[in-house]
Amino acid sequence: MTDLLAHFRAVILCGGSGSRLWPLSRETLPKQFICLNGSRSLLQNTLLRLPSANAEYRPILVCNDVHRYVAVEQAQDVGATSLEMILEPCARNTAPAIAAAALRAMEDDPDAILLVMPSDHVLEDGESLRAAFASAHAHAARGAMVTFGIAPDAPQTGYGYIQAGDPLSGPGGARRISRFVEKPSPELAQRFLAEGGYYWNSGMFAFRAAVYLAELDRRAPAMLAAVREAVAAGKGDHALYQLDPASYAACPADSIDYAVMEHTEDAVVIPLDCAWSDVGTWDSVWGIAEKCPDGNAIQGDVLMEDSRNCLVHATHRMVASIGLDDIVVIETADAILVMHKSKSQDIKGLVERFKVLHRTEITHHRQVQRPWGWYDSVDQGERYQIKRITVKPGGRLSFQMHHHRAEHWVVVSGTARIYNGDKQYLLTENQSTFIPLGEVHSLENPGKIPLDIIEIQSGAYLGEDDIVRFQDVYGRV
């Protein structure tokens, strides 16, 4: 590690829900794991940003236990293999998540300086970003609580603002923070833009781990005590650490802004001179997207006539439009969203309505990720369901049984090792087998290529909660 950034350690927060980007973002696959603008997810772009910022350190990834396998897979896909993962058993906002990372970082390095970054933002990489990180390190090393401010170019009402105060000596044009303003009215946001000296709150921070924990102990001692207990009673190693569920569930939930940054006496903002967006709504996704001459941003199989300034995202079917202006169309296998761009903030209310109606479309996509691969619910009706199942090489489903359904498996490609009661056998392309109701069974891919099978379920109840696991190589209950 270079002397310039000694003790620097990245903390990547990966617990956001991204509900305003439904139907692409779901509870089991929130926005940090989806590809909004290109072939890589927002998490993958965040991980790839670190080496170019001289970050010769192992990042700490804090994510929900539900997302552990997709997070690991996406990190491995971009070569980010030397990272530590902290698993939250439940969501408690950013302040407790950062506290857990600080406690773990100080076990290796009592002088650790944390660079805290969200995993679900778009941030332009480059020399200005590297310089800002180095400046933040210098101010954090002397004990300051540093955040990064984005110079506003529009009176956005969906962002928090930071009012900068007196300039400070040292690099990066750092200034003391006079106050934080949470999501102002349109009139107030316009005034901030006209007056100058206000920045968008980027959600990125830098500080000594010990300083952050001391501030948290001063401002929210019950929170810190609960996190300390969750870390102390947790289990794992430097690659994967699971926080204790009972202790963490008892922790008060709050953001770092409310819990610490708005109260600390040494808050510092460093202007960040690069393009940034929290891509929290579909209109902001349109804002960062590459556009056609008529202002349309399209992805997938899309045909547009006499349409302007629209965002159309097709994942499974061809989408065509005629005569649209400022419209968002998001197509997935099981849901389609059509709305005016100006209503982007209203999706959160729609998602809450879906929860009341117990709609599964807010929880998961038709294609559901699993640690062994994924399955796609192709069709279902009364007393039957058809799935396409893909098992990665070396992947293995748990030993399990079902009380209410039987299953037929047909191998489409690859080789399957079947465990069916006390029998074990291999199946290859075009071969099939039957799993009776109540029989303990499992499926494994012993080959070197993905295994694809068609599963036909039949029975009185076909829900995913009709699974009794007896043994699982991935540690699922």
CATH number for position 391? 2.60.120.10
* Paired tokens of 80: 């980010």
- Same domain for 82 and 135, yes or no, is yes
Residue 468 CA to residue 235 CA, distance in Å, equals 25
SS3 helix, strand, coil % of the chain, rounded to 5?
Answer: 30, 35, 35
- Which residues are CB-neighbours of 160 under 8 A, at least 6 positions away? 180, 181, 182, 183, 200, 201, 257
Q: What is the pLDDT of residue 184?
A: 87
- The pLDDT confidence band at residue 332, using thresholds 50, 70 and 90, is very high
In a domain? residue 476: no
pLDDT tens profile 200-242: 999 999 999 999 999 999 999 999 999 999 999 999 988 899 9
- Whether 360 is in a domain gets the answer no
Q: Token pair for residue 460?
A: 């009185």
> Do 135 and 214 reside in the same domain of the chain?
yes
- The answer, yes or no, to whether residue 301 has pLDDT greater than 80, is yes
309-318: long-range contacts, CB 8 A cutoff, minimum separation 24 = 309/341, 310/286, 310/341, 311/282, 311/283, 311/285, 311/286, 311/341, 313/24, 315/24
Is the same domain home to 259 and 168? yes
Percent of the chain at pLDDT above 70? 97
Q: How confident is the model at residue 2, as a pLDDT?
A: 44
User: Six-digit token pair at 85?
Assistant: 């993962």
pLDDT (average), residues 419-423: 96
Q: What is the pLDDT of residue 452?
A: 98
Q: Which two tokens stand for residue 364?
A: 């998961």
Confidence check: pLDDT of 313 > 50: yes
Q: What is the mean pLDDT of residues 386-405?
A: 96
Instruction: Kindly report the average pLDDT of the chain as a whole number.
Output: 92
What is the band of 411 on the pLDDT scale with cuts at 50, 70, 90? Answer: very high
Q: Look up residue 10 and give its two tokens.
A: 């990245």
| Residue 342 sits in the same domain as residue 450 | no
351 in any annotated domain: no
What 182-187 contacts at long range (C-beta under 8 Å, 24+ apart), as own/partner pairs, is 182/257, 183/157, 183/158, 183/159, 184/157, 185/157, 186/155, 186/157
DSSP 258: I
**What is the token pair recorded at 471?**
């043994």
**Separation between Cα atoms, residue 147 and residue 116, nearest integer Å:** 9
Average pLDDT of the segment spanning 305-315: 96
Amino acid 383: pLDDT: 94
Point out the domain boundary residue: 231, 248, 276. Answer: 276
Could you report the per-residue pLDDT of 441-451, keeping only the tens digit for each? 999 999 999 99
Confidence at 54, pLDDT banded by 50, 70, 90: very low
Res. 298: pLDDT tops 50: yes
Considering only 167-171, 189-193, 383-387, which range has the smallest mean pLDDT?
167-171
Buried b / exposed e along 440-470 (16+ C-beta atoms within 10 A):
bbbbbbebeeebbbebbbebeebeeebeeee
Q: Roughly what angle, to the nearest 10 degrees, separates helices 209-219 and 94-108?
A: 140
Tell me what percent of the residues of the chain surpass a pLDDT of 90.
Answer: 74
Phi, psi of 407 (to 5 degrees): -140, 140
Specify whether the CB–CB gap between 127 and 274 falls below 8 A. Answer: no
Burial-class residue 100 by CB neighbours within 10 Å (0-12, 13-18, 19+). Answer: buried
Please give the structure tokens belonging to residue 284. 């902001």
- pLDDT tier at 335, thresholds 50, 70, 90: very high
Q: Is 361 a member of any domain?
A: no
Q: Is the pLDDT of residue 52 over 60?
A: no
Q: Are 339 and 328 in contact (CB under 8 A)?
A: yes
Task: Please name which of 157, 211, 145 lies closest in space to residue 184, comparing C-alpha atoms.
Answer: 157
Asked, for residue 356, whether it belongs to a domain, the answer is no
Question: In the sheet where 367-370 sits, what is the strand order?
Answer: 367-370, 373-381, 384-391, 451-459, 405-413, 432-435
pLDDT tens digits, 187-196: 999 999 999 9
Question: How many structural domains is the chain composed of?
Answer: 3
Q: Are residues 288 and 271 in the same domain?
A: no
pLDDT of residue 55: 44
36-61 in b/e form (b: 16+ CB < 10 A) is bbeebbbbbbbbebbeebbbebbbbb
For residues 12 and 29, state if they share a domain: yes
Is 354 domain-assigned? no
Per-residue pLDDT, 36: 86
Q: What is the domain range of residue 313?
A: 282-346
- Both 292 and 317 in one domain: the answer is yes
Do residue 271 and residue 419 come from a single domain?
no
Pairwise CA distance, residues 206 & 209, whole Å: 9
Distance CA 12, CA 19 (A): 19
Q: Is residue 30 part of a domain?
A: yes
Pair of tokens at residue 202: 């980027």
Write b or e for each residue in 106-128: b if 16 or more Cβ atoms lie within 10 A of its Cβ, otherwise e: beeeeebbbbbbbbbbbbeeeee
241 shares a domain with 179: yes
Residue 289 sits in the same domain as residue 267: no
Are 380 and 307 in the same domain? no
CA pseudo-torsion sign 426, 432, 438, 443: positive
User: Does residue 161 share a domain with residue 191?
Assistant: yes
Q: Using one digit for the tens of pLDDT, what is the confidence trace for 104-153?
A: 999 989 999 999 999 999 988 778 888 899 999 999 999 999 999 999 98
| 229, 259, 276 - which closes a domain | 276
Q: Can you give the pLDDT at residue 248? A: 97
